[in-house]
Amino acid sequence: MGTRWKGKNTASTAKSNPMSQIIAQFQSSLSLSNAQAMLSNQTALFEATPDLADLLNRSCFGREITAHNKTKRWFQFTLEETFFLNQNLHALTIVTDKDCKVDNVELWEYMKSKKAKFPEQYKAYENLRAKNWVVRSGTQYGGDFVAYRHHPALVHSEFVVIVMTEGDDDDGSNERLRVWSDLQCGLRVCGSVAKTLLVLSVNKNGSDLSSPSCLDKFSVEENVVERWVAEQCREEDLSGKGKRSVVAEQREGNCSGQEEDCL
Amino acid sequence: MGTRWKGKNTASTAKSNPMSQIIAQFQSSLSLSNAQAMLSNQTALFEATPDLADLLNRSCFGREITAHNKTKRWFQFTLEETFFLNQNLHALTIVTDKDCKVDNVELWEYMKSKKAKFPEQYKAYENLRAKNWVVRSGTQYGGDFVAYRHHPALVHSEFVVIVMTEGDDDDGSNERLRVWSDLQCGLRVCGSVAKTLLVLSVNKNGSDLSSPSCLDKFSVEENVVERWVAEQCREEDLSGKGKRSVVAEQREGNCSGQEEDCL
């Protein structure tokens, strides 16, 4: 469906403020402030200074909680966001509600206990964030995530993301896209909201899930699934530069995380 | 979402021409003409006289094939339609491409060989047709069927139907609605096209599938799944006569097939 910017000049605004730079700035500010967030069930709570609150909003991490006390600004991180800020950006310390620091393995166990599919879901989240996509919950479209090319204030989300687990079908872990009607349902939703269905297949490659280092062994395969309309494709450019004309187009996961918007 | 009639006076037109009467008339004409249809892969082909073609269109069975020879009118029945016309209305003889009559058990085996989920899908189809709903393919909405209150020329389809198999989850036969994101996807599609999601759970009650008589032992549970909007429901009529206010409302499958539009 392509990128749908919200209004005039938003594309150039986005271009002159690459998300990679915003996140680098956020990462450095967060580290310098010795930031810490407290685990609270399915989220982590974070009290932000005005500067950090601004950077959180610009980099699209967390959701601000409306509080009566306007002098304090609180943010809620999802499990994936919490783990990403802690393990990938190394910028956020995680503590329990008793203010004890949570180490890597404890955090990993906590995440898995709150969400059985956390390893795959996180790998998919990290894969997109590392490529500077802004990633939010995809619940309202029946997906796991949605991905934005830049800040949601500037652009509509471009992809509805469904995470699949490859390599262990026998245990029934692939719970989506098992039947055609399910795929058709996902495509219909995407079509009606002008988004593209992105299926991220996470292969655990038989790794032992007891420590977070297993994530390095996971691989991610990215497939875009689109309707194929015969009339549209019949006379298109045969050089291969025309519109995408395949039902499922595979894109190799070899993008560099440094390059902006490279998916 | 309710019934959405197409234009003025269509509701009264529908009321004065109940689908039950149209189908009774079609059934009797079809029987009198000793009609027969020929199996052809996933369909059955039927050559209709002008009168029968008119009744087929009015009762919404089959899809007419556009032919160059306008003197002959050919219709294609789905597997469910074929079986319903043969086994429920007892109005259509089925033959092979070599013009041999196909008996009950042969037809049953043929259906199962073409569609593994035929027993459950057919039970759901028959359950709706017996209540005078017009049933068509739900593919474009990611469902198994769509159900219309009357002819599609008069009214928009009201339900997107997903068929589930109860009582044998262990063999992984429930391939839809296993995870929340899948349900959310279905609800989003329904919402965007002003339809209601109807989940028909077919319980085979452990019956032996070797003969079509097993269908009598199947039971069907009907559940409507809707979004719950807190604001809409907060001050509604507490007598129970107000708008539906539950996420999943169960309707017992005790409707009489004689009463029009009784689901």
- Residue-wise pLDDT for A106-157, tens only, equals 999 999 999 999 999 999 999 999 999 999 999 999 999 999 999 999 999 9
Fold of B18-115: MutS, DNA mismatch repair protein, domain I (3.40.1170)
Angle among Cα B52, B56, B213 to the nearest 5 degrees reads 105
Q: Which CATH number fits domain A10-251: 3.30.60.50, 3.40.1350.10, 3.40.50.620, 3.10.310.30?
A: 3.40.1350.10
Sequence ranges of the domains in chain B: 18-115, 117-253+257-261
φ, ψ of residue A231 in degrees (nearest 5): -60, -40
CB within 8 Å: A143 and B185: yes
Q: Is A110 a catalytic residue?
A: no
Predicted pLDDT at B111: 97
Predicted pLDDT at B67: 75
Whether A142 and chain B come into contact, CB under 8 Å, resolves to yes
A198: pLDDT strictly greater than 80: yes
Which residue of chain A is at minimal alpha-carbon distance from B184? A142
Segment B12-27, tens digit of pLDDT: 999 999 999 999 999 9
Predicted pLDDT at B130: 96
A170: pLDDT strictly greater than 80: no
Predicted pLDDT at A228: 83
- The mean of the pLDDT values for chain B is 87
Tokens of A44: 């982590």
Q: Which residues neighbour A140 within 8 Å (Cβ) at sequence distance 6 or greater?
A: B184, B188
Give the start-end residues of each E strand in B73-173.
Answer: 73-77, 93-95, 134-137, 145-148, 159-166
Tokens of A248: 């499922």
Residue type, A243: K
CA atoms within 13 A of residue B209's CA, in its CB half-sphere: 17
Arithmetic mean of pLDDT, B178-198: 92
CB within 8 Å: A192 and B187: no
A1: pLDDT strictly greater than 80: no
Q: What is the DSSP string of A177-205?
A: SSSHHHHHHHHHHHHHTT-EEEEEEEE-T
Whether B192 and chain A come into contact, CB under 8 Å, resolves to yes
- The mean of the pLDDT values for chain A is 87
Predicted pLDDT at B170: 52
B228 against A14, higher pLDDT: A14
Bridge pairing between strands A93-95 and A134-137: unpaired
Of the candidates A7, A22, A14, the residue with the CA atom closest to the CA atom of residue A150? A14
Which run of H or of E encompasses B203? strand B196-203
Residue with tokens 């580290």: A31
Predicted pLDDT at A152: 96
Q: Name the architecture of domain B117-253+257-261.
A: 3-Layer(aba) Sandwich (3.40)
B261: pLDDT strictly greater than 50: no
Percentage with pLDDT > 70 across chain B: 86
**Range B187-205 burial, b when 16+ CB lie within 10 A, else e:** bbbbbebebbbbbbbbbbe
Chain B environment of A186 (Cβ under 8 Å) = 142, 185
Residue type, B35: A
CB within 8 Å: A172 and B175: no
A24: pLDDT strictly greater than 60: yes
Bridge pairing between strands B36-40 and B93-95: parallel
Distance CA A234, CA A232 (A): 6
Tokens of A225: 């699934």
CB within 8 Å: B182 and A182: yes
φ, ψ of residue B77 in degrees (nearest 5): -100, 145
Asked whether the beta carbons of B60 and B136 are under 8 A apart, the reply is yes
Distance CA B35, CA B37 (A): 7
Q: Tell me which of A144, A173, A188 to substitute to probe the interface with B (most B C-beta atoms closer than 10 Å).
A: A188
Segment B189-225, tens digit of pLDDT: 999 999 999 999 999 998 999 999 999 999 999 999 9
Distance CA B137, CA B114 (A): 16
Distance CA A111, CA A20 (A): 26
Predicted pLDDT at A236: 59
Predicted pLDDT at B242: 40
Whether B113 and chain A come into contact, CB under 8 Å, resolves to no
Catalytic annotation, residues of B: 148, 156, 195
Whether B11 and chain A come into contact, CB under 8 Å, resolves to no
Arithmetic mean of pLDDT, B67-77: 84
- Sign for the CA dihedral angle at B251, B256, B259, B261 comes to positive
Q: Return the DSSP state at A101.
A: B
Predicted pLDDT at B78: 97
Q: Tell me which of B140, B157, B185 to substitute to probe the interface with A (most A C-beta atoms closer than 10 Å).
A: B185
A128 by Cβ neighbours in 10 Å (0-12 / 13-18 / 19+) ranks as: buried
Percentage with pLDDT > 90 across chain B: 74
- Among the ranges given (B93-97, B155-159, B162-166), the one the predictor scored with the smallest mean pLDDT: B162-166
Measured between alpha carbons, how far apart are the two ends of chain A, in Å?
14
Which run of H or of E encompasses A11? helix A10-16
- Sign for the CA dihedral angle at A25, A28, A31, A32 comes to negative
Of the candidates B195, B61, B217, the residue with the CA atom closest to the CA atom of residue B138? B195
Predicted pLDDT at A174: 73
CB within 8 Å: A186 and B184: no
